Amino acid sequence: MMNSKEKAGLSHLDDQGQAKMVDVTAKVETTREAVACGLVRMQPSTVRLILEGGFPKGDVFSVARVAGIMAAKKTWELIPLCHPLMLTGIDVSFSSTPERGEIALEARVKTVGKTGVEMEALTAVSVAALTIYDMCKAVDREMVISEIFLQSKQGGRSGTFIRSGVLPPSASGS
Amino acid sequence: MMNSKEKAGLSHLDDQGQAKMVDVTAKVETTREAVACGLVRMQPSTVRLILEGGFPKGDVFSVARVAGIMAAKKTWELIPLCHPLMLTGIDVSFSSTPERGEIALEARVKTVGKTGVEMEALTAVSVAALTIYDMCKAVDREMVISEIFLQSKQGGRSGTFIRSGVLPPSASGS
Amino acid sequence: MMNSKEKAGLSHLDDQGQAKMVDVTAKVETTREAVACGLVRMQPSTVRLILEGGFPKGDVFSVARVAGIMAAKKTWELIPLCHPLMLTGIDVSFSSTPERGEIALEARVKTVGKTGVEMEALTAVSVAALTIYDMCKAVDREMVISEIFLQSKQGGRSGTFIRSGVLPPSASGS
Amino acid sequence: MMNSKEKAGLSHLDDQGQAKMVDVTAKVETTREAVACGLVRMQPSTVRLILEGGFPKGDVFSVARVAGIMAAKKTWELIPLCHPLMLTGIDVSFSSTPERGEIALEARVKTVGKTGVEMEALTAVSVAALTIYDMCKAVDREMVISEIFLQSKQGGRSGTFIRSGVLPPSASGS
Amino acid sequence: MMNSKEKAGLSHLDDQGQAKMVDVTAKVETTREAVACGLVRMQPSTVRLILEGGFPKGDVFSVARVAGIMAAKKTWELIPLCHPLMLTGIDVSFSSTPERGEIALEARVKTVGKTGVEMEALTAVSVAALTIYDMCKAVDREMVISEIFLQSKQGGRSGTFIRSGVLPPSASGS
Amino acid sequence: MMNSKEKAGLSHLDDQGQAKMVDVTAKVETTREAVACGLVRMQPSTVRLILEGGFPKGDVFSVARVAGIMAAKKTWELIPLCHPLMLTGIDVSFSSTPERGEIALEARVKTVGKTGVEMEALTAVSVAALTIYDMCKAVDREMVISEIFLQSKQGGRSGTFIRSGVLPPSASGS
C-alpha cells in the first residue's frame, strides 16, 4: 500500500488520478540548472566512422548538438505536463570511446524559473541521441540508446541533487 | 580506414561531409512499418505506485501513450534530417515487471512512403519514456531510460530487418 | 449495453480501451471534402463595431481567416489521434447578423488522402472563432462560441454525409 | 456610432485598423486565473458508450484532457495576436449528463504575467472538445460543440470578472 | 588574425568552436526594443496590383502582417541558438513606392527580458516578406527580397544602437 | 488597370479579395525542384572570422545549414497560405567572398507533389541567413541580408523557370 508521502509524490495526478499540470503559481523564481547524461552504443567501426571518416570531424556531433539544443526549447511541447520555461542556457557535449563502441552525451540546461529543468536536459540528450542514430543508421542498425538519466540538479525548494555514481544493477551491466 | 560502402552509408553527409536531407525523390512509395523498444528502470515501489496507486490504473501510461503518439508525428520537426512522412498508424504499449523495477515500452509505426519509419518509432518510445520519467520524478529521481533500439522494420529497398535477440554485452547486463 | 457495432465505432480505442492512432495504411486515397460551421454570439453592438468601426472593413475577419487556415494545417498536431494529412484547399468565411448579435463561420477543407478532413474543418472554425473572441474581448467579455458542427463531408468509404437541418433541441434554442 | 471607449476596446487594431500585438511592455506582472466552460452535445447512447463501454473508464476523457492541456500551452501559436505566456497551472475536467446527451468541460488556467489567460482557458476547452468529437465521430457524426465561454477571470488591471449565470437567449435554449 | 575581443564576439561558439546557447542566466531583465527593416522589389505593376486591385485594399499586407507577427513569436523555434523570450509587443508595417517597384517593411518588437529582440524583429520582416512573395509569385516570379537589416535597438548592457543611414556600397546600389 | 490575367494571378485571393488556400485538389503530383539564393553582407573581417577563427571551420555554416533545412520543412507553418508538402530532398550550401564581405547562400528543395517548392527554398535561404546573422551579430551589427530570390524551378504545369542573370537595377548595385 502507498503511504501519503508517496501519493503526494506523483504530483501530476490529482485526487482522482487525472492528469493536470501542477500549479506552481505561488512558487518563487530561482536559478535552476540540470545536467543529464546518455549513451549511444554502436559498432566500434561506427564510432570511428563518425570521428575519422574523411569529412570535417564532428559533423554528426554538430547536427546532433543543434538538434538537442532545439529540442530542449520544445520540451514543454513534447512532454504533456511540463511547464513552459524560458531557458537561459543550453550546452550539449559528446565524448566517444571507439574501442567500447560508445558515444556519451551530456546536456546542461539553465533557467531562472518556478520549476526545474530536469526534463529539458533529459530531452536534449534524448533527441541528440536520436539524431546520432538517424545519421548513422544506414551503416549500423543495431545501435542502442541507453543510460539516459539525471546527473545533477540545483535550485528550487528541493535543493541540490547529485546522482550517486552507481547505476542500478541491471543497467550497469555488472 | 573506411571503405566506400561505409562511406556511402552515412547518407546524411554529402561529399564534403556537410549535412543534407537525403534525396528520396525517385524512390517508390511502399508500405513501411517499424517497431522500437525501450525500458524505464526505477524503484520497484515506483512501478507499483504507477500500477496500484489508488488512482485509475494506467493513467501514467495513458498520458505517456498520448505523448508518444504525438511525438511520432513530430519526428521530422525534431530530427533535423528526417523527411516529413504521413504516418498511417501509431501504437504505443507498455508492460511492467514491478519486481525488477522495469517498465518496457514498444512503439509500432506505419506509413506508405518513400522512407522508413524507424526514427518515428524510436521517437515515440523516447518521448513516452521521458513522459513516464516526468510524471514519476517527484518520487524517484534516479530512474534510467535505457535500451532504446529498433526491434524490426519492414518495407523499402532494404527489406525486412529483425533485430537479433541479444543486446550488446554492456547493454544486456550479463 | 453496447452492441458490437457501437464498440467498433470508437475506433481510436483498442481492445483494452487504450488510445491508438487508427491504422489506415491499407485504405485507398480518395478526394475528401468537409464543411464545418460555427457561431460566435455577442452583443449586437460588438458585431456592428467589427463591421462599421471606422477601420478597414473586415480586418477582424481577415485575421481570424488566416488563423483558421493555419490551424487547419496543424490539426494533426493538436488532436492527439488525428492523422497528418496534406490539405489541398482551405476556405474560411464569415457572415454576420448584427441584430441577432451573431457571426457565423464556415470552413471548407479538401484533401486527397486516406482519411477525412472533418477534424480539420472543425478545427479551422474553432480557432477562427477563438480569434474573433480574442480580438473583441476587450469590449465584450460575455461572447459565446457555439453550434460548431459538421455540415457535410464527401469522399471515403463511408461516402457523403449531409447534416439534417435541425439542431438538437437544446442547441437550437427552441 | 461608436464611442471612444468602444473604439479603444478593440485593442488589437491600431489607428488604421491594422492588426498588431498589443504592447504590454509596461504592465506589471500579476497572478492571473481564468476559467472557461464548454459543452459537447451528442446522442445519450454516445455519452454512455464513453462512460460504460467496457474499456477503462474515462479514456476518452484522459486523451481529451491531455489535448486540452497541451493546446493551452500553444495558444500563442494558434491565436495570432496572443502574447506568449508561461502558464503555471492548467486543469481540464469533464462531467457528463447521459440522459441529456451532454458532456460539460471546464478548464482552469493560471499564470503570473502581464496579460490574462482567458484565451488559454478557452483554447483548452475548444481543443478538448474537438478531441472528444474526434474520438466519438465514428459512432455519432451529429455532435455539436457549444456554449464555450469565459466563466471567470481574476488578476490584472480590469480585476475580477464572474459571468452572470444566464446565457444569452439563443444559446440557453429556453 | 583575430583579436580576443573579436573571438569573444562570436558568443554562440564555445572554446572549441561548438555551438551552444549563450548562458544569460545572470543577466538582469530590462526593457528591450528592436526595429528591423526590409524591402521586396517587384514589377511596378505588381505593387499596383496589390494596392489597387479591386479587392479590399491591403489584404496582401494584412496576411503578411499576421504572418510576420506569428513568426516573431516563433523565432526561438527557427533560429537554433536564440533564447525563448516572452514578447510584449509586435508591430509590422508596410509602405509602398509603386514607381520604384518597392514595398518596404518594418517590424518593431518589444520585450522585458535578458536578451534582445533583434532576431525577432528580423524574423518578422523576413517572414512577412516571404508571405508577400508567396501571394504575388503567380504574377511576378522575379521579385527580390532585399535590404533586411537592424535599424535600431534599445535596452540591455550594450545600450542603444541606431544604424547609420547609409547601407554598405554593394547594398545601396550607388 | 488590371487585366483579367493579372487578376487571376493573385491566386491566394478569392473573388472578394479574401485570403484562402488555393485549391490544388485536382492537380496531378509531379516531381518539383526549386533553387533559391541569398546574400549576407558583412564586414570582410566578419567573413574571415567565420572562416578562419580558430574553431572548427564552418561551424557557423553547419548550424545555419541545419536551421535552413529544418525551416524548409516548416514553410507551411510559417507562410499562411502555403500547402503542406512532403519534401523529398533539401540541400543548403554556402560560399564566401571575404574581400567583398559576402556570404552567398543557395538552397535546393525537391518534392513530388501538387504544388511547387519555391517558398520552401526561399524559406530555407532566409532562415539560414538569419542564423548567420544571429551567430555573428555580436561582432557586426550592421550586416544586411539581401538578394533573396528564386533562381530556378522545375516541374508543375508552368514548367521550367530559370531566372535571367541580371538583378533589377536597384538590387544589382550598378
Interface residue ranges in chain A relative to chain F, Cβ cutoff 8 Å: 56-59, 62-63, 66-67, 70
Q: How far is CA A157 from each of CA A29, A108, A122, A160, B95, rounded to the nearest angstrom?
A: 10, 20, 20, 9, 34
E57 chain-C contacts, CB cut-off 8 A: 56
Phi, psi of E59 (to 5 degrees): -65, -35
pLDDT, residue F13, reads: 73
Give every CB contact of residue C128 below 8 A, 6+ residues apart in sequence: C38, C64, C65, C67, C68, C71, C92, C94, C105, C107
D42 Cα distance to chain centroid:
19
**Distance between F63 CA and the closest CA of chain A, angstroms:** 7
* CA of C25 vs chain B CAs: smallest distance (Å): 5
Distance between CA atoms of residues A108 and E115, nearest Å: 19
D158 versus A118: the higher-pLDDT residue is: A118
**Distance, CA of E68 to CA of F79 (rounded, Å):** 9
**B87·C86 Cβ contact <8 A:** no
> According to the model, what pLDDT value does residue A157 have?
84
Cross-chain Cβ contact C57/E56 below 8 Å: yes
F59 and A62 within 8 Å at the Cβ level: the answer is: yes
For CA atoms E132, E136, E137, E141, give the dihedral sign: negative
- Contact at CB, C10 and D168, closer than 8 angstroms: no
Q: Which residues of D touch E (CB under 8 A)?
A: 14, 18-25, 27, 76-77, 80-81, 83-86, 113-114
Task: Give CA–CA dist B11/A137, Å, rounded.
Answer: 9
Cell numbers placing A160: 541540490
Residues of B in contact with C27 (CB under 8 A): 88
Look at residue A110 in the predicted model and tell me its pLDDT: 98
Indicate whether F42 pLDDT > 50: yes
Contact: B20, F90; criterion CB under 8 Å: yes
Query: What is the model's pLDDT at position A53?
Result: 55
Catalytic residue among C15, C91, C134, C140: C134
pLDDT band for position C164 (cuts 50, 70, 90): confident
Q: What is the pLDDT of residue F165?
A: 65
**Would you call E89 and D24 a contact, using CB atoms and an 8 Å cutoff?**
yes
- Write out the three cell numbers for C90: 482551405
Q: Judge whether E134 counts as a catalytic residue.
A: yes
Among C145, C146, C134, smallest CA distance to D119 is for: C134
Distance, CA of C95 to CA of C103 (rounded, Å): 6
- What does the pLDDT read at residue E13? 73
Cβ neighbours of A56 in F, within 8 Å: 56-58
Cβ atoms within 10 Å, residue F44: 13
Q: Is the pLDDT of residue E163 over 60?
A: yes
Query: Are B91 and C21 within 8 A, CB to CB?
Result: yes
Q: Which of F23, F59, F134, F140 is catalytic?
A: F134
ipTM: 0.92
Q: What pLDDT shows up at residue B6? A: 45
d(CA D32, CA D39): 24
Cross-chain CB nearest to F58 (options A56, A63, A70):
A56
- Which residues make Cβ contacts (< 8 Å) with residue E3, sequence separation at least 6? none
Closest-CA distance of chain F to residue E82, Å: 8
Q: Strand, coil or helix: what is D161?
A: strand
Distance, in Å, from the CA atom of D71 to the CA atom of C158, rounded to the nearest integer, reads: 30
Q: Could you please report the per-residue DSSP string of chain B?
A: ---HHHHHH-TTB-TTS-B-B---TTSPPEEEEEEEEEEEE--HHHHHHHHHSSSSTTHHHHHHHHHHHHHHHTHHHHSTTPPP--EEEEEEEEEEEGGGTEEEEEEEEEEEESS--HHHHHHHHHHHHHHHHHHHTTT-TT-EEEEEEEEEEE-STT--EE--SPPPHHHHT-
- Comparing A24-38, E48-62, E105-119, which segment has the lowest mean pLDDT? E48-62
Contact flag C20-B110 (C-beta cutoff 8 Å): no
The pLDDT of residue F132 is 96
List the grid coordinates of E50.
496589390
Give the tens place of pLDDT for each residue, D88-107: 999 999 999 999 999 999 99
Chain B with chain D: Cβ pairs closer than 8 A: 19
Residue with cell 524507424: B118
Between CA E87 and CA D113 the distance in angstroms is 12
- F174 pLDDT exceeds 70? no
Q: Which residue of chain C is at minimal alpha-carbon distance from B31?
A: C25
Q: Cell digits for F135?
A: 551567430
Residue B152 to residue B156: CA distance in whole angstroms:
13
Average pLDDT, integer, range F15-19: 75
**Structural domains for chain B:** 28-154 (3.30.70.640)
Q: Is the pLDDT of residue F11 over 80?
A: no
Q: What is the pLDDT of residue E70?
A: 98
Phi, psi of C3 (to 5 degrees): -85, 175
Distance CA D110, CA D120 (A): 9
Nearest chain F residue to A60 by CA distance is F62
Q: Are F73 and F123 in contact (CB under 8 A)?
A: no
Output the pLDDT for position D156: 87
Residue C165 has pLDDT above 70, yes or no: no
Cα gap A69→A72, rounded to integer Å: 5
Distance from CA of A134 to the nearest CA of F (A): 14
Instruction: Tell me which DSSP letter residue F80 carries.
Output: T
Which residues of D are less than 8 Å from E74 in CB distance?
Answer: 77
Q: Is the dihedral of CA C119, C122, C128, C129 positive or negative?
A: negative
Mean local confidence (pLDDT), E86-106: 96
Outline where DSSP puts E strands in chain D.
Answer: 30-41, 87-97, 102-113, 144-154, 161-162
The residues on C that touch E, with CB distances below 8 Å, are 56-59, 62-63, 66-67, 70
Stated as kind and residue range, the H or E segment containing E4 is: helix E4-9
User: Chain F closest CA to C16's CA: distance in Å?
Assistant: 34
Taking one residue from B and the other from C, the number of pairs with CB-CB distance under 8 angstroms is 54
Q: Model confidence over D10-22: pLDDT tens digits?
A: 777 776 678 889 9
Those residues of chain B that have pLDDT short of 70 are 1-10, 15-16, 53-58, 165-174
Distance of residue B118 Cα from the nearest chain C Cα, in angstroms: 16
* Intervals of chain A under pLDDT 50: 1-8, 54-57, 168-174
Give yes or no for a contact between B81 and B135, defined as CB atoms under 8 angstroms apart.
no
Q: Residue C25 corresponds to which amino acid?
A: T
Q: Could you tell me which residues are beta bridge partners of residue C30?
A: C113
Chain A residues inside the 8 Å CB shell of E27: 88
D169 pLDDT tier (thresholds 50, 70, 90): very low
In the block, cell 452583443 appears at C43
Question: Is residue F95 classed exposed, middle or buried when 0-12, 13-18 and 19+ CB atoms within 10 A define those classes?
Answer: exposed
Shortest CA distance from D74: residue in chain A: A77
State the pLDDT confidence band at F15, using cuts at 50, 70 and 90: low
Residue to substitute from A66, A94, A131, interface F, most F β-carbons within 10 A: A66
